Amino acid sequence: MAMIVCFALGAFALSLPIAVAMSAAAVIGALLAGFGVPVRHLVEGMFGYIDTILIIACAMIFMKTVQDIGLLEAVASLGIRKFRGRPLLLSIGVIFLIMLPGMLTGSSTAACLTTGALVAPILLKLGVPSASAAAAIALGAIYGMIAPPVSIPVMIIGGGIDMPYVGFALPLLFATVPLAFMVALFLLYPWLRRRDAIDETGLEAELARMEMVKLTPRLFLPFGVLIVLMTLEQFFPENFHIGMPLQFLIASASGTLCGQKWNPMKSAVSAVNDALPVLGILMGVGMFVQVMTLNGVRGFVSVTALDIPRWLLYVSIGVSIPLFGAISSFGAASVLGVPFILALLDRSQIMAATGLALIAGLGDLMPPTALAGIFAAQVVGEKNYFKALARCLLPAIVTALWGLAVIAWAEKLAPFLTR
């Protein structure tokens, strides 16, 4: 309780960065437990998610590269021109475009700040209210964070029980794609099918600006290189294993061959700068979780999760994981996701981890941190991000219920979705 109170005071009363508030809370937790200031544990916790940190940083460099060479804007402009007369397809296409960076980086923040920022002015000029546009961007970013090929919450949960990140592609798609369709139909389609609210002049000017770079096959080179590298590692893991961070860096370097003038060093610095808040939170979460392990709280949570009745277990999962996500969705996956999956050992572990990760992703909508909600509101120019969160409420409830259903039906779904 002291750690939570310290975090709340630091984050809200003192307006400290989330990472700093979590680090301070970890120190307080160690002091009150009689361990003094355990520097070794704090440093060990800080580097507990170093693999995840490297993946996010390098994936952000990749996304910044494809953005700076003009690929994202050219593809978005082409899609909008092609489907603007088909609002249903346009709604679905926009959601999946928002999801793309999250799928590659495992970060909802990355999705909000790249394709979210790219489609935001287009959605506004197509007549979508700012609150609905922000909600769609936030939810799309969260579903992208959970979807394959890079799902950080699943990696964190799997790491807690030594479960390899293998065989999750279909389960994660099953968990996220139907929800993405729901968001497209609920938040975007009702507005995109209306023709009277479109700012035609502003829309044409925005599309013309996005088409300054001509869409050519060479622009797709970074994505092609990334797909080849990921495919080689997937099918030849023993002979070809260079790791995701290096895959993203090699694919980013291939952007120099696309025929566009851009500054690779400036892109890399900008990408890492954009990712720093998320990377800092991961370090703070690592310290927070390490001290919770040191003082016994994490073990207490694990034992309690194993003892509670099955019906209460589902209620606890649906309520506690998103609430803890107010600190960090990654922290919720680590602190609560691991104990809960241990309590679900009678289920398919792949399906159970998928459902838990989906619910943990909702933490990015929980105030006060609400990373996805805040950044989505920021890119659409909505000053009160609670308006966006209000539009997210019903889809978030459906998402939590869908995640619980994936866990409850894990054994029935596993033969179709897992190898």
Residue spans of the chain under pLDDT 70 = 196-199, 419
What are the tens digits of pLDDT across the range 398-418? 999 999 999 999 999 999 998
Query: Which of 139, 124, 182, 207 is CA-nearest to residue 382?
Result: 124
Round the average pLDDT of the chain to a whole number and report it: 88
Domain boundaries, the chain: 38-417
Token look-up 């402009």 returns: 77
Where do the H-state alpha helices sit in 126-168? 130-146, 152-160
Q: What is the pLDDT of residue 194?
A: 81
Give the HSE-up count for residue 371: Cα atoms under 13 Å, Cβ half-sphere.
31
Q: What is the pLDDT of residue 53?
A: 87
The whole-model pTM stands at 0.86
Where do the H-state alpha helices sit in 236-363? 244-253, 264-294, 297-307, 310-324, 329-332, 338-342, 349-361
Q: What is the pLDDT of residue 197?
A: 63
- Structural contact between residues 328 and 285, judged by C-beta atoms closer than 8 angstroms: yes
Measured CA to CA, the distance from residue 145 to residue 147 in angstroms comes to 6
Measured CA to CA, the distance from residue 156 to residue 353 in angstroms comes to 10
Q: What is the pLDDT of residue 398?
A: 97
Q: What is the pLDDT of residue 16?
A: 86
